């Protein structure tokens, strides 16, 4: 086991493979690393009695794990109704939420019907929003199946869908009853999705945990090739960092903003490249290259060559044309902007993030030039 990260020991309780996310208010919820075969019994243990149970998933995950999850829930006295949506970001749509409401009412949803989100970040966001709003909230269980979802999006309670005006503009914070992550399910992930997730893993290390960064660096080729011996520890360590941050700042009032490292640049890159042209993880890796360059340029002690080599492994070799002027304009419009000030996350050193509000256009331009070179 690795050291506890929480500054306040009252905030975190760790028992075996279970870490409790202790919210500043209200009930805590556990993030459990366990086999999917334990889903039904874990639901029972958390007060979700048998009876009607809804599962939302996508075509790919249903094909791989749908039957198995359904059987294990049925064996655990649940009467399963499964809804399968199309894979990909387009499913985060109010029309699809509306279809889910229709299905739930037709199937007799009541306030105690648990909803299981079985899939990646898209399924977690969509299903979380549905569970938060149907009948003003029913119990939600996350079973994240991608690396991004296990270490990032299923932890912290953000749920939501996209809107024609932009990504993730509609949503709410909604706590699951628990999250169950089975790292074995990552074995079937396409390589591109593994690398997408590695961006967020490396981000967590860079902003919060120098020891984990060193672990990643020294195992980097096994990490990128997904050596199965390393996966459980990698997920567990990356998860702990997210838990530690959101436990201290559930609603993104302060500390949680450091999770935006690489994202202000990255969101602009996603937007200008055209959503879907470049993966979120790849865009964030490019964004972190820009942010690391700027941190080093400002005299911070960041081993730029070493970090940059790792980040390059997470970005595509050929990039679409992205004029720096457009990227700059897009960054200045980022929704994370507070008032007129751009809040940019940089590194003070590996493992320590800082928020800067005085980045000039010429600095941002030079950082982007570096990242796109
Ligand atoms: P993310 O988790 O990166 O936000 P998605 O939810 O869109 O993104 O998942 C990425 C893709 O991976 C989707 O096509 C999804 O169907 C697929 N997927 C999710 N989990 C698995 C898995 N365990 N094995 C194989 N493919 C998966
Ligand atoms: Zn991200």
pTM above 0.85, yes or no: yes
Q: What is the pLDDT of residue 23?
A: 58
Residue 280 alpha carbon, nearest atom of ligand 1: 3
- The whole-number pLDDT of residue 255 equals 85
Ligand 1 center from residue 233 Cα (angstroms): 21
Q: What per-residue confidence (pLDDT) applies to 335?
A: 53
Helix (H) or strand (E) holding 96: helix 94-106
Q: Provide the strand spans (E) within the chain.
A: 13-15, 18-21, 29-33, 51-58, 78-85, 115-119, 140-144, 158-163, 166-173, 178-181, 344-349, 352-356
pLDDT the model gives residue 165:
84
Indicate which residue's Cα is closest to atom 4 of ligand 1.
121
- Is 158 annotated as catalytic? yes
User: Of the ligands numbered here, which is closest to the C-alpha atom of 149?
Assistant: 1
Instruction: Report whether residue 61 contacts ligand 1, using a CB cutoff of 6 Å.
Output: yes
- Look at residue 15 and tell me whether its pLDDT is greater than 60: no
- What is the Cα–Cα distance from 354 to 295, expressed in whole angstroms? 9
User: Ligand 1 in contact with 97 (CB < 6 A)?
Assistant: no
β-strands 178-181, 29-33: how paired? parallel
**Ramachandran class of 69: left when φ > 0, alpha when ψ lies in -120 to 50, beta otherwise:** alpha
Which residues face 328 on adjacent strands?
Answer: none
Q: Tell me the per-residue pLDDT of 197-218, one tens digit each, with 9 for 90 and over.
A: 999 999 999 999 999 999 999 9
Q: Which of 281, 28, 11, 3 is nearest to 151 (CA)?
A: 281
Least confident range from 23-27, 182-186, 311-315, 338-342: namely 23-27
Q: Rounded to a whole number, what is the largest CA-CA distance in the chain?
A: 62
Mutate to test the pocket of ligand 1, among 56, 87, 117, 146 (most ligand atoms within 8 A of CB): 146
Cα within 13 Å of Cα(328), Cβ side: 14
The question of whether 195 is a catalytic residue gets the answer: no
For residue 319, what pLDDT is reported? 92
Instruction: Report pLDDT digits (tens) over 310-369.
Output: 999 999 989 999 999 999 999 988 655 556 688 899 999 999 999 999 999 999 999 999
Q: How big is the chain by its Cα radius of gyration, in Å?
A: 20
Instruction: Identify the pLDDT of residue 350.
Output: 98
124 lines ligand 1 (CB under 6 A): no
For the stretch 253-276, pLDDT in tens is: 788 899 999 999 999 999 999 877
Inter-residue contact 123 to 57 (CB < 8 Å): yes
- Quickly state the pLDDT bin for 22 (edges 50, 70, 90): low
Q: Ligand 1 mean position to 194 CA, how many Å?
A: 9
Q: Which residue has its alpha carbon closest to ligand 1 atom 25? A: 189
pLDDT at position 275 is 74
How far does residue 203's CA lie from ligand 2's centre (Å)?
A: 9
- Asked whether the beta carbons of 233 and 211 are under 8 A apart, the reply is no
Average pLDDT, the chain: 91
The Å distance, Cα 58 to ligand 1 centre, comes to 8
CA of 152 to the centre of ligand 2 (A): 8
- Is the pLDDT at 277 greater than 90? The verdict is no
Task: Read off the pLDDT of each residue in 125-152 and give the average, rounded to a whole number.
Answer: 98
What pLDDT is stored for residue 338 in this prediction?
A: 58
Question: What pLDDT is stored for residue 149 in this prediction?
Answer: 98
Q: Is 372 helix (H, G, I), strand (E, B) or coil?
A: helix
- Which range (98-107, 145-154, 233-242, 330-339) has the least confidence? 330-339
- Residue 237's contacts (CB-CB under 8 Å, 6 or more residues apart) are 2, 209, 212, 215
Q: Say yes or no to pLDDT of 3 above 50.
A: no
pLDDT at 8 over 90: no
What CA–CA distances, in Å, run from 304 to 58, 92, 198, 265? Answer: 39, 36, 18, 17
Does 242 qualify as catalytic in the annotation?
A: yes
185 within ligand 1 shell (Cβ under 6 A): yes
Mutate to test the pocket of ligand 1, among 36, 56, 60 (most ligand atoms within 8 A of CB): 60
- More confident of the two residues 185 and 16: 185
Q: Which domains does the chain have, with CATH numbers?
A: 9-188 (3.40.50.1970), 261-373 (1.20.1090.10)
Q: Give distance in angstroms: CA of 12 to centre of ligand 2.
A: 24
149 lines ligand 1 (CB under 6 A): yes
Q: Whose CA is nearest to atom 14 of ligand 1?
A: 87
**Residue 20's closest CA among 231, 247, 257?**
247
Pairing outcome for strands 158-163 and 166-173: antiparallel
Residue 163 designated active-site: no
| Cβ(199) – ligand 1 distance below 6 Å | no
Determine whether 219 is an active site residue.
Answer: no
Q: Is the pLDDT of residue 297 over 70?
A: yes
């Amino acid at each position: 086991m690795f050291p506890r990260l929480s500054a306040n020991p009252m905030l975190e309780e760790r028992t075996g493979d279970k870490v409790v996310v202790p919210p500043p208010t209200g009930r805590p919820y556990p993030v459990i690393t366990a086999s999917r075969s334990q889903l039904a019994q874990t639901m029972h243990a958390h007060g979700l009695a048998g009876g009607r149970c809804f599962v939302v998933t996508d075509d790919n995950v249903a094909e791989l794990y749908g039957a198995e999850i359904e059987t294990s829930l049925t064996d655990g006295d649940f009467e399963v109704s499964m809804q399968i949506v199309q894979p990909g970001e387009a499913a985060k749509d109010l029309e699809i939420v509306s279809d889910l409401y229709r299905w739930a009412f037709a199937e007799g949803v009541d306030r105690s019907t648990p909803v299981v989100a079985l899939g990646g970040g898209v399924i977690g966001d969509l299903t979380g929003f549905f569970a938060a709003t149907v009948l003003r909230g029913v119990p939600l269980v996350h079973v994240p199946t991608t690396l991004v979802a296990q270490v990032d999006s299923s932890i912290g309670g953000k749920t939501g869908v996209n809107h024609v005006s932009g990504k993730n503009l509609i949503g709410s914070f909604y706590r699951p009853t628990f999250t169950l992550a089975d790292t074995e399910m990552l074995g079937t992930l396409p390589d591109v999705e593994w690398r997408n997730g590695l961006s967020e893993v490396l981000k967590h290390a860079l902003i919060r945990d120098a020891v984990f960064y060193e672990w990643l660096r020294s195992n980097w080729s096994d990490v990128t090739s997904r050596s199965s011996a390393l996966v459980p520890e990698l997920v567990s360590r990356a998860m702990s960092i997210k838990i530690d941050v959101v436990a201290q700042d559930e609603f993104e009032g302060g500390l949680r903003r450091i999770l935006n490292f690489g994202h202000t640049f990255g969101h602009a890159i996603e937007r200008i490249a055209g959503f879907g042209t470049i993966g979120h993880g790849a865009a964030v890796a490019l964004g972190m290259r820009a942010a690391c360059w700027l941190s080093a340029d400002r005299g911070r002690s960041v081993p730029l060559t070493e970090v940059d080599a790792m980040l390059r492994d997470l970005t595509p070799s050929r990039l679409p044309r992205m004029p720096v002027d457009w990227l700059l304009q897009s960054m200045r419009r980022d929704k994370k902007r507070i008032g007129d000030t751009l809040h940019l996350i940089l590194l003070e050193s590996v493992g320590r993030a800082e928020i800067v509000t005085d980045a000039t256009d010429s600095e941002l331009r030079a950082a982007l030039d570096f990242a796109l070179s």
